[in-house]
């Protein structure tokens, strides 16, 4: 990471890092429909658990999850071909994305963070993230955007988040990550960052704290302590 140094007199949280799918927007269903179409074409099983295992990981890794579940081995060139086909299906589906796909309260929360001078990063394994942000006019809200084009090691490796923190010039311990997948939570924690799981506690057992509604968050407490609710 850059040579940023934490000043004990500064607010604890200086940057907020957001996954995209299931955290800022709901594109999960588009991914699901694209993978399901590909799986059906190939005669592969693609159930809810397999879909959950694909969340928060890059396209090729997701394809490998599906292959492993079905006991299928393929050469690399065939895997690249199938992953590209799935991406084409996904891009076609994205043409219908609109404000109804936004996570309720997410945009308002991003504006509140900016008003508090908290730096913002979008951190998504998807290489299509810029297309989604542009379609929903969200790009200007983020100080930096990290996508699958920018890093090599997927979650649960923390590379995606440490790269974003470095770009923002904020130490890891001054960052808080919003994630909806276990792999993403693990990556944030491995990077030495605070983390909020977006979803139910039983779905994110490794998250130190969870929320389902951005209105639940006590922003002053979060910036001061890294916790989204005040201590009782």
DSSP string for 79-110:
HHHHHHHHHHHHHHHHTT--GGGBPTTHHHHH
**For residue 29, what pLDDT is reported?**
87
Task: Tell me the average pLDDT across 110-136.
Answer: 95
Contact at 8 Å (CB) between 122 and 84?
no
Q: What CATH class does 15-26+101-225 carry? A: alpha beta
% the chain with pLDDT above 70:
95
Which stretches within the chain are classed as H helix?
Answer: 28-42, 48-54, 59-70, 76-94, 106-115, 129-135, 159-168, 182-190, 219-225
Please classify residue 191 by burial: count the beta carbons closer than 10 Å to its beta carbon, then call 0-12 exposed, 13-18 middle and 19+ buried: buried
CATH 3.40.50.1000 domain extents, the chain: 15-26+101-225
Q: pLDDT tens across 13-27, in order?
A: 999 999 999 999 998
**For residue 28, what pLDDT is reported?**
82
Active site (catalytic) residues: 19, 21
pLDDT higher than threshold 60 for residue 4: no
> Coil, strand or helix: which one is 182?
helix
CATH 1.10.150.240 domain extents, the chain: 28-94
**For residue 19, what pLDDT is reported?**
97
- Considering only CA atoms, which of 23, 16, 14, 13 is closest in space to residue 179? 23
CATH homologous superfamily, domain 28-94: Putative phosphatase; domain 2 (1.10.150.240)
Task: Tell me the average pLDDT across 7-12.
Answer: 75
**For residue 230, what pLDDT is reported?**
82
Higher-confidence residue of 4 and 23: namely 23
Kindly report the pTM of this predicted structure. Answer: 0.84
How much is the mean pLDDT over the chain?
93
**For residue 52, what pLDDT is reported?**
85
Task: Tell me the average pLDDT across 174-203.
Answer: 96
Task: Tell me the average pLDDT across 7-13.
Answer: 78
- Model confidence at 1, pLDDT cuts 50, 70, 90, reads very low
Q: pLDDT tens across 59-108, in order?
A: 999 999 999 999 999 999 999 999 999 999 999 999 899 999 999 999 99
- Model confidence at 57, pLDDT cuts 50, 70, 90, reads confident
**For residue 10, what pLDDT is reported?**
81
Please classify residue 230 by burial: count the beta carbons closer than 10 Å to its beta carbon, then call 0-12 exposed, 13-18 middle and 19+ buried: exposed
pLDDT higher than threshold 90 for residue 8: no
């Amino acid at each position: 990471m850059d040579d940023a140094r934490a000043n004990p007199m500064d607010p604890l949280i200086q940057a907020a890092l957001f996954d995209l799918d299931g955290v800022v927007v709901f594109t999960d269903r588009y991914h699901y429909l694209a993978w399901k179409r590909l799986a059906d074409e190939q005669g592969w099983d693609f159930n809810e658990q397999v879909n959950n295992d694909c969340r928060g990981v890059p396209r090729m890794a997701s394809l490998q999850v599906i292959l492993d579940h079905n006991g299928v081995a393929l050469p690399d060139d065939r895997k690249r071909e199938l992953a590209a086909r799935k991406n084409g299906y996904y891009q076609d589906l994205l043409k219908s994305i609109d404000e109804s796909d936004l996570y309720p309260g997410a945009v308002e929360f991003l504006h509140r963070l900016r008003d508090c001078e908290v730096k913002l990063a979008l951190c998504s394994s998807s290489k299509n993230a810029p297309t989604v942000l542009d379609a929903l006019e969200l790009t200007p809200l983020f100080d930096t955007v990290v996508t699958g084009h920018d890093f090599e090691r997927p979650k649960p490796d923390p590379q995606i988040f440490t790269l974003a923190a470095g770009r923002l010039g904020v130490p890891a311990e001054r960052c808080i990550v919003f994630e909806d997948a276990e792999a993403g939570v693990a990556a944030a924690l491995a990077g030495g960052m605070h983390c909020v799981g977006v979803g139910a506690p039983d779905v994110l057992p490794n998250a130190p704290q969870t929320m389902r509604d951005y209105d639940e968050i006590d922003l002053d407490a979060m910036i001061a302590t890294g916790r989204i609710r005040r201590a009782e």
